[in-house]
Amino acid sequence: MASTLSILATFTIIRSTFNDFVPKEIRDYLWSFIRRFSSEFTLVIEESHDGSSNHIFQATMEYLGSHVLSASAAEGSPKRLTVGKSEKVRKFTFGLDRHSEIVDIFHDVPLKWKYNADVNTNTNNQQKSESRWYELSFQKNHAEMVKSKYIPHIINKAKKLKDRNRIVKFHTVRRERWSSSAVNLDHPMTFDTLALDGDLKKTIMEDLDSFINGKEYYKKIGKVWKRGYLLYGPPGTGKSSLIAAMANHLNFDIYNMNLSAVNSDSSLEYLLLHVSNRSILVIEDIDCTVKLQNRDAGDTTASYPHVQVTLSGLLNAIDGLLSCCGDERIIVFTTNYKDKIDPALLRAGRMDKHICLSYSTASTFKQLAANYLGISNHNLFSRIEKIIEEINVSPAEVAGELMKSKDPKTCLEGLIELLESKASEATSKPEEGKGGNNTKQEKGCKSKGSNTTNSDSPNHNAITFLTVGPDPMIVREYTVKAELAPILKAVLLKHGDIVTDCSLNSMQCRSSLLEIACGIIQKLQAAKLEDLAEPELRSMLASVSDLESLKLRVSWLRKRLDQIIEALQLVKQCSTLEEDKRKIVQEIEEMQKELGSCRMEKLEKEKKTLRIQEMEAVIGTISESISSNEARLSCFYERSLVDGLLCL
């Protein structure tokens, strides 16, 4: 032990003497000479490069900062780390302390990092500046991999980390310029707490994720990396909440623009040029900007002389050459009345995806109850769900009632009182239950001029749209024949809004599709299994397949048609088996008559007897098959063909 300490002390004295008496230039030369015989290669990444900030240095600092804490428990890891947090980021940031080292593994290759920092002083021994740099050491045979893969990986990873960690900002317009003092967006709304029909929520999230990961795709097809959304529906249905959830999901800044505060097309161009990347530009109530209203509807601007932004100016700003000045941007338009928007704004490339946010359904109510009251079931739920499907009540109104007390029963009883009040108001106006003047239809998601927004949507020619009869009925926001209204109500209660994801947006088209589905159910409801023919069922099945191609949720109807077709085939099979059994019985009877004859030889009698036994065994097998098939068919004979499909 003493000899070991003596050796270490001697080595320390020699090293100190060497550093004190040998000039730095000679030391550097000796080290460079020794490195010539080493297989290790080192890259130096300084803080500045060619007189400006070194982007790779900043990326390295971000990248290593995400690794050092998780690697601190590993053997040989640095024991001293730096930690800090600025107002511009969400989380703490960690880093290496001076002269610390860490090993990163990339493609199974160890890569050693070392952080260095020196203080440069002037001749008067006063502090002047600090030099910082990273050293990346690796085996020479990995140089190409480091250059082509590892460094780009660091830059890309650092960008994602930085984007994920930054604070989301909310920008507004002041005097036709973006306010210099943007505020932090602390809106708590996320897709987890957003009350929205499950399938629609999933569709929106998948669309956003596809966009954010689509940089190379947009580049390949030669289109600007941006996407437009139109949120439409009555007030209080969650348009602002959805925008906040989108911003928190993507960690994008929000730029909120009121076009009535912009006095010219040139001011609009200036504002859009100064919207940062990774942001959401929100233009609310687009229908209220008169000069942008639907030209086909004969809108006038005479009474709004102060509005100077023109439709042409807006179109050029969001979809012209000006739109190329930026990447990774989302534009969200909102409106309460989609049919007031000019068709030129509605087309794909400007408003790529149209999202209808309508009145509360049973599904949204349950989500709100879970969020506000922390309950997933209650004995008052069934009563609320039954009423809420028949009236127009916004999610905001439902949420307002659920916030009035912390006691679930008190809140739910208050909500029932509100719903029954609205139901009685609707009942006192019977004219709203007929024709096309229903409030929910007018203020919901109906649009006279709406078009499908997806260029790759399926061929719709396979569907023949039905004309609503002379005595239509309103079920929620859909107009259908009076005879089909009870069926549609039962479908909506059982399966929810099956046209939520439909690729057709107009209420007229969606109502026609619902009539097709309800017409099929009506035929099945009135028929018995033996009255149906397989070609007729195949035709129904083809119609249901067409509905599914338009994204209607009717898989349950397709499965039932498949079951009925299978049952018809079993009926045919039973009929064939009965005929085979009859023939065999007849043949046995004839052979038994022959056996009764005295003329037959003994050997021949034995053969026929054995043959009869074999045929009787076949009859037994056939009888078992017939019994099995009849047992499977009993549910179709004893109950309606649509049993279990509807909530009656």
Structure tokens at 54: 């070194």
> DSSP string covering 448-459, please?
TT-----TTPPP
Q: What is the pLDDT of residue 281?
A: 93
- Cα–Cα separations (whole angstroms), residue 631 to 36, 342, 628, 637: 88, 61, 5, 10
Q: What is the pLDDT of residue 301?
A: 46
The SS3 of residue 184 is: strand
Q: What is the pLDDT of residue 70?
A: 61
Q: What is the pLDDT of residue 21?
A: 63
Distance CA 621, CA 614 (A): 11
Range list of H helices, 22-133: 24-35, 55-68
Break the chain into its structural domains and give their ranges: 14-165, 169-292+308-356, 362-423, 478-568
The SS3 of residue 403 is: coil
Q: Name the nearest CA neighbour of 246 among 401, 359, 357.
A: 357
Q: Name the nearest CA neighbour of 521 among 499, 501, 479, 492.
A: 492
What's the distance, CA 460 to chain centroid?
24
Distance CA 361, CA 394 (A): 9
Distance CA 395, CA 385 (A): 13
Token pair 């509360």 in the structure block, residue: 360
Q: How do strand 109-121 and strand 101-106 relate by DSSP bridges? A: antiparallel
In 466-508, where do the E strands start and end?
472-475, 478-481
Q: What is the pLDDT of residue 133?
A: 85
In 346-439, where do the E strands start and end?
353-356
Q: Which long-range contacts (CB under 8 A, 24 or more apart) does 244-247 make?
A: 244/185, 244/187, 244/189, 245/189, 245/190, 245/191, 245/193, 245/194, 246/204, 246/208, 246/280, 246/330, 246/332, 247/168, 247/185, 247/187, 247/280
Q: Name the nearest CA neighbour of 60 among 119, 11, 133, 8.
A: 133
Q: Please, which residues have CB within 8 angstroms of residue 491's CB and are 6 or more apart in sequence?
A: 498, 514, 517, 518, 521, 645, 646
Distance CA 138, CA 308 (A): 62
Q: What is the pLDDT of residue 608?
A: 80
Structure tokens at 159: 């960008």
The SS3 of residue 186 is: coil
Q: What is the pLDDT of residue 137?
A: 87
Q: Which CATH architecture has domain 169-292+308-356?
A: 3-Layer(aba) Sandwich (3.40)
Residue 492: Cβ-neighbour burial (10 angstroms; 0-12, 13-18, 19+): buried
Q: What is the pLDDT of residue 3?
A: 65
> φ and ψ at 205, to 5 degrees?
-65, -40
Q: What is the number of residues in the chain?
A: 648
Q: Are 208 and 249 in contact (CB under 8 A)?
A: yes
The SS3 of residue 511 is: helix
Could you say which DSSP state residue 467 is in? P
Buried/exposed code over 244-257 (b: 16+ C-beta within 10 A; e: otherwise): bbbbbbbebbbbbb
Structure tokens at 29: 């030369």
CB atoms within 10 A of CB 639: 10
Q: Are 460 and 506 in contact (CB under 8 A)?
A: no
Please report how many Cα atoms fall inside a 13 Å half-sphere around the Cα of residue 117, on the Cβ side.
Answer: 10
Distance CA 137, CA 297 (A): 69
- Report the chain (648 residues): mean pLDDT per 10 consecutive residues: 62 64 68 65 84 82 73 60 72 76 84 82 63 86 87 84 79 85 83 85 91 87 88 89 91 88 85 89 80 50 57 80 76 88 83 90 90 89 87 90 90 90 71 42 43 38 42 80 87 86 81 88 84 84 87 88 86 84 85 72 79 85 82 76 77
The SS3 of residue 142 is: helix
Q: What is the pLDDT of residue 242?
A: 93
Q: What is the pLDDT of residue 354?
A: 92
Q: What is the pLDDT of residue 8?
A: 59
